[in-house]
Structure 1
Amino acid sequence: MEGKSSFSAKRRETVLKAMEQETPLDLLVIGGGITGAGIALDAATRGMRVGVLEKNDFGSGTSSRSTKLIHGGLRYLKQGDVKLVQEVGRERAILYKNAPHLVVPAPMLLPVYKGGTYGYLATSIGLYVYDWLAGVARKERRKMLSRKQTMELEPLLKKDGLKGGGLYFEYRTDDARLTLDIMKTACQRGAKAVNYTEVTDFVYENGRAAGVTVHDRISGRHHEIRAKHIVNAAGPWADEIRSIDGSLKGKRLFLTKGVHLVVDSHRLPVHQAAYFDTPDGRMVFVIPRGHITYIGTTDTAYSASIDQPRMTQEDRDYLIRAVNAMFPAVKLTERDIRSHWAGLRPLIYEEGKGPSELSRKDEIFISDSQLITIAGGKLTGFRKMAEKVVDLVAGRLQQSGGKAYPSCSTDKITISGGERPEGVSYEDWKRQMIQDGIAAGVDGQTMQEWVDLYGSNALRIVKRLPESARLNIPPQLQWLHAQLTYSVEEEMTVTPADFLRLRSGWSYFNLAKAEKYRNIVEKMMNDLLDLQPEQKEAQLAMLNQLFRHLHELPVNEQQLQSMTS
Structure 2
Amino acid sequence: MTALTTRSATLKKLSTQKFDLIVIGGGITGAGVALDAASRGLDTLIIERNDFASGTSSKSTKLIHGGLRYLKNLEIGLVREVGQERAVVHELAPHLVRPEKMLLPLVEGGSLGKLSTSMALWVYDFLADVEGDDKRIMLTKEETANYEPLLRDDILKGGGFYAEYRTDDARLTIENVKTAMRHGATAVNYAEAVDFTYDEQETINGVVIHDRHTDQTITVRTEHVISCTGPWVDDLRKVDKSMTNRGVFLSKGVHIVVSRERLPLQHAVYFDVADGRMLFAIPRLRCTYIGTTDTPYKGDPNAIPTFLEDVQYLLDGTNAIFPTVNLKVEDVESSWAGVRPLIYEEGKSAGEMSRKDEIFESKSGLLSIAGGKLTGYRKMAERVVDRVGKQMKADGSKLKKTSTKDLALTGGPFADYEEVLTYEETIANQLLASSLAPDRAGYLVANYGKQTPAIIEAATKRSEGTDVARLACAEAAYCIDNELALYPLDWVERRSGRLYFDMPSIEPVLNEVTDVFVKAYDYTEAEREQELEKVRAAIKWVSEFAAEPVATLSE
> CA–CA distance in 1 between the matches of 2:476 and 2:417?
32
Which letter maps to 1:492?
L
- Return closer, same or farther for 1:145/1:410 CA change in 2, 3 Å cut-off: same
- Contact in 1 for aligned 2:198/2:205 (Cα 8 Å): yes
> CA–CA distance in 2 between the matches of 1:45 and 1:210?
22
> CA–CA distance in 1 between the matches of 2:448 and 2:45?
24
Tell me by how many angstroms 1:557 deviates. Answer: 5.8
Q: Are 1:480 and 2:472 counterparts?
A: yes
SS of structure 2 residue aligned to 1:464: helix
Q: Are 1:330 and 2:322 counterparts?
A: no
Which deviations, in whole Å up to 9, do the C-alpha atoms of 1:58-112 show, x marking residues without a partner? 0011001011100123122222122222211221111111101101111111111
Equivalent positions of 1:284-299 (< 5 A) are: 284-299=279-294
Equivalent position to 1:447, from 435, 441, 447: 441
> CA–CA distance in 1 between the matches of 2:492 and 2:324?
33
Tell me by how many angstroms 1:496 deviates. Answer: 0.9
Equivalent positions of 1:146-157 (< 5 A) are: 146-157=140-151
Aligned match of 1:359: 354
Equivalent position to 1:118, from 112, 115, 120: 112
> CA–CA distance in 2 between the matches of 1:319 and 1:376?
25
Aligned match of 2:177: 183
Tell me by how many angstroms 1:527 deviates. Answer: 2.0
Equivalent positions of 1:143-542 (< 5 A) are: 143-206=137-200, 207-400=202-395, 402-420=396-414, 425-465=419-459, 467-469=461-463, 477-533=469-525, 535-542=527-534
Aligned match of 2:46: 52
Aligned match of 1:37: 31
Tell me by how many angstroms 1:266 deviates. Answer: 1.7
- Contact in 1 for aligned 2:106/2:114 (Cα 8 Å): yes
- Return closer, same or farther for 1:9/1:65 CA change in 2, 3 Å cut-off: farther
- Contact in 2 for aligned 1:438/1:447 (Cα 8 Å): no
- Return closer, same or farther for 1:547/1:428 CA change in 2, 3 Å cut-off: closer
> CA–CA distance in 1 between the matches of 2:417 and 2:476?
32
Which letter maps to 1:14?
A
Which letter maps to 1:380?
T
- Contact in 2 for aligned 1:36/1:52 (Cα 8 Å): yes
> CA–CA distance in 1 between the matches of 2:442 and 2:363?
51
Which deviations, in whole Å up to 9, do the C-alpha atoms of 1:515-546 show, x marking residues without a partner? 32223322332123211345435423422321
Which letter maps to 1:510?
D
Equivalent positions of 1:554-565 (< 5 A) are: 554-556=546-548
> CA–CA distance in 2 between the matches of 1:421 and 1:286?
29
Tell me by how many angstroms 1:116 deviates. Answer: 1.5
> CA–CA distance in 1 between the matches of 2:5 and 2:371?
34
> CA–CA distance in 2 between the matches of 1:198 and 1:15?
15
SS of structure 2 residue aligned to 1:171: strand
Tell me by how many angstroms 1:44 deviates. Answer: 0.5
- Return closer, same or farther for 1:132/1:474 CA change in 2, 3 Å cut-off: closer
Which deviations, in whole Å up to 9, do the C-alpha atoms of 1:93-148 show, x marking residues without a partner? 11111101101111111111233111111111111111111111311111111011
- Contact in 2 for aligned 1:33/1:179 (Cα 8 Å): yes
- Contact in 1 for aligned 2:469/2:508 (Cα 8 Å): no
- Contact in 1 for aligned 2:95/2:449 (Cα 8 Å): yes
Aligned match of 1:80: 74
Which letter maps to 1:289?
R
Which letter maps to 2:242?
S
- Contact in 1 for aligned 2:251/2:294 (Cα 8 Å): yes
Equivalent positions of 1:130-141 (< 5 A) are: 130-141=124-135
SS of structure 2 residue aligned to 1:58: coil
Identity %: 43
Q: Are 1:27 and 2:21 counterparts?
A: yes
Q: Which moved more, 1:68-77 or 1:354-363?
A: 68-77
Q: Which moved more, 1:261-270 or 1:340-349?
A: 261-270
> CA–CA distance in 1 between the matches of 2:418 and 2:290?
35
Aligned match of 1:563: none
- Contact in 2 for aligned 1:10/1:489 (Cα 8 Å): no
- Contact in 2 for aligned 1:9/1:493 (Cα 8 Å): no
Tell me by how many angstroms 1:32 deviates. Answer: 0.3
SS of structure 2 residue aligned to 1:393: helix
> CA–CA distance in 2 between the matches of 1:423 and 1:508?
25
Aligned match of 2:100: 106
- Contact in 1 for aligned 2:64/2:374 (Cα 8 Å): yes
How large is the Cα RMSD of the aligned pairs? 2.0
SS of structure 2 residue aligned to 1:159: coil
- Return closer, same or farther for 1:424/1:320 CA change in 2, 3 Å cut-off: closer
Which letter maps to 1:108?
M
- State TM-score, norm by structure 2: 0.95
Which deviations, in whole Å up to 9, do the C-alpha atoms of 1:150-182 show, x marking residues without a partner? 112212112233210001111000111000001
- Contact in 2 for aligned 1:236/1:344 (Cα 8 Å): yes
- Return closer, same or farther for 1:31/1:9 CA change in 2, 3 Å cut-off: farther
> CA–CA distance in 2 between the matches of 1:324 and 1:277?
12
Which letter maps to 1:69?
L
Which letter maps to 1:254?
F
> CA–CA distance in 1 between the matches of 2:386 and 2:499?
38
Q: Which moved more, 1:416-425 or 1:319-328?
A: 416-425
> CA–CA distance in 2 between the matches of 1:234 and 1:136?
33
> CA–CA distance in 1 between the matches of 2:237 and 2:353?
21
Which letter maps to 1:81?
E
Uncovered stretches (5+) of structure 1, i.e. residues with no partner:
560-565
- Return closer, same or farther for 1:219/1:362 CA change in 2, 3 Å cut-off: same
Which letter maps to 1:302?
Y
> CA–CA distance in 2 between the matches of 1:109 and 1:420?
27
Which letter maps to 1:461?
I
- Contact in 2 for aligned 1:35/1:382 (Cα 8 Å): yes
Aligned match of 1:97: 91
- Contact in 2 for aligned 1:391/1:407 (Cα 8 Å): no
Which deviations, in whole Å up to 9, do the C-alpha atoms of 1:159-206 show, x marking residues without a partner? 233210001111000111000001000001100010001111111222
> CA–CA distance in 1 between the matches of 2:75 and 2:417?
38
> CA–CA distance in 2 between the matches of 1:273 and 1:128?
19
> CA–CA distance in 2 between the matches of 1:165 and 1:422?
29
Which deviations, in whole Å up to 9, do the C-alpha atoms of 1:467-515 show, x marking residues without a partner? 434xx66666322221111011111111111111111111101111113
Which letter maps to 2:266?
H
Which letter maps to 2:471?
W
SS of structure 2 residue aligned to 1:200: strand
Q: Which moved more, 1:475-484 or 1:267-276?
A: 475-484
- Return closer, same or farther for 1:557/1:350 CA change in 2, 3 Å cut-off: farther
> CA–CA distance in 2 between the matches of 1:351 and 1:476?
52
- Contact in 2 for aligned 1:71/1:88 (Cα 8 Å): yes
